[in-house]
Structure 1
């Protein structure tokens, strides 16, 4: 059975992250700390030869991937290829808004109030929370869970089509996307946790599914 190892990294800290604002398809530049997040992730992955290097097509992911690849010592690609299917969730008109203000708005549509986004995801689950954003976006721009899942599944099919058994792949993506993927592959308990900027999720993608071998890892030096 063919197996592809994917090292999925969350982009470095951005100014929207720093200000606790929902980001989604919108973009904000990396902070100085965010640049270092990329270098630190790359340092912990420096000994791995990547047969492919990818990022979402959002600037914060592209730049993080470049910083990470600049640390590689194993003959990996120098430049990431973009895969738009691994963008962040589209939060629609909630993007750019303070996270707690947004949560106050959404609390009006659930049975009990939640103190923060992580608590809402832990209790309701990632699919329900994505659908909550989609249902109550007044501009109807936010994507539903099924819309999100369709594009991410297509992204994984792209990786299967491009790679073969034993290949190792770097993929820089986004916090909610990473959490939702962990949930989809059978780990809702992982999805309930916020993902650190620069953290690694190690996936082993097979013809039958995917194993999550590491999640939200900011300490391991992978080999």
Structure 2
């Protein structure tokens, strides 16, 4: 059985200013984002991971570094950086202020089956889920009895998790958005099609308020 620990990156400047932060843009972790990552690391410090896979975007890589610095079992741990775990691309909307009255924005959040980013050159939900799922399936085969840390992004993780558990496309954003540095634990037996959620969007370990 493979056990995945999915963690969203810490809070960033663009998260705070409510702007699109997709796969083609980055912004630094806020001090609260660093603290969230450290606290997540302390929460996971006694887990011996067989591998860690991290998005190649700086906010995810920095979050992973803070998490792993707290871990008690780093000897021999290999960290892999994966372009396939980058956030969904928003095209011309990267860095733009989020318009909550926009139809496509609402589809992205509530009806991903209707989301069509063609007009602004964005990535489709299907492409996002396909590339991330292929990566997770490959890892699962490589570590059939392993514990694997995944550090990535909000839209990618919520759509991936819902897809892996067998939900229909219209429900791929269900339960979102994921909180910054939230931990979701999924398991998969090698002979089963879908994953089982053991913990979802957990931030119970956080001791510092996001508004701090």
Whole-angstrom CA distance in 2 between matches of 1:41 and 1:151? 26
2:157 aligns to what?
178
Whole-angstrom CA distance in 1 between matches of 2:41 and 2:76? 12
Whether 1:216 aligns to 2:195 is no
The answer to whether the 8 Å contact 2:160/2:172 transfers is no
Relative distance call for 1:220 and 1:4 in structure 2 (3 A) is: farther
Whole-angstrom CA distance in 1 between matches of 2:189 and 2:75? 22
Q: What is the root-mean-square deviation of aligned Cα atoms in Å? A: 2.3
Relative distance call for 1:190 and 1:93 in structure 2 (3 A) is: closer
Q: Give the alignment partner of residue 7 of structure 1, picking from 5, 8, 18.
A: 5
Whole-angstrom CA distance in 1 between matches of 2:35 and 2:205? 16
Within a 5 Å distance, the mapping from 1:1-223 to structure 2 comes to 3-25=1-23, 26-75=25-74, 80-100=79-99, 103-104=100-101, 106-107=102-103, 120=107, 123-124=110-111, 126-128=112-114, 131-132=115-116, 134-137=117-120, 140=121, 142-165=122-145, 167-184=146-163, 185-186=165-166, 188=171, 191-207=174-190, 208-219=193-204
Q: State the Cα distance separating 1:90 from its structure 2 match.
A: 1.0
Q: State the Cα distance separating 1:213 from its structure 2 match.
A: 1.5
Q: Which runs of 5+ in 2 are unaligned?
A: 207-212
TM-score (norm 2): 0.84
Q: Which runs of 5+ in 1 are unaligned?
A: 110-116
Q: State the Cα distance separating 1:135 from its structure 2 match.
A: 2.9
The answer to whether the 8 Å contact 1:69/1:77 transfers is no
Q: State the Cα distance separating 1:74 from its structure 2 match.
A: 3.1
Aligned length: 199
CA offset digits 1:115-152 (Å, max 9, x no partner)? xx5x655642x333xx33x2331xx2x11122112211
TM-score (norm 1): 0.80
The answer to whether the 8 Å contact 1:5/1:169 transfers is yes
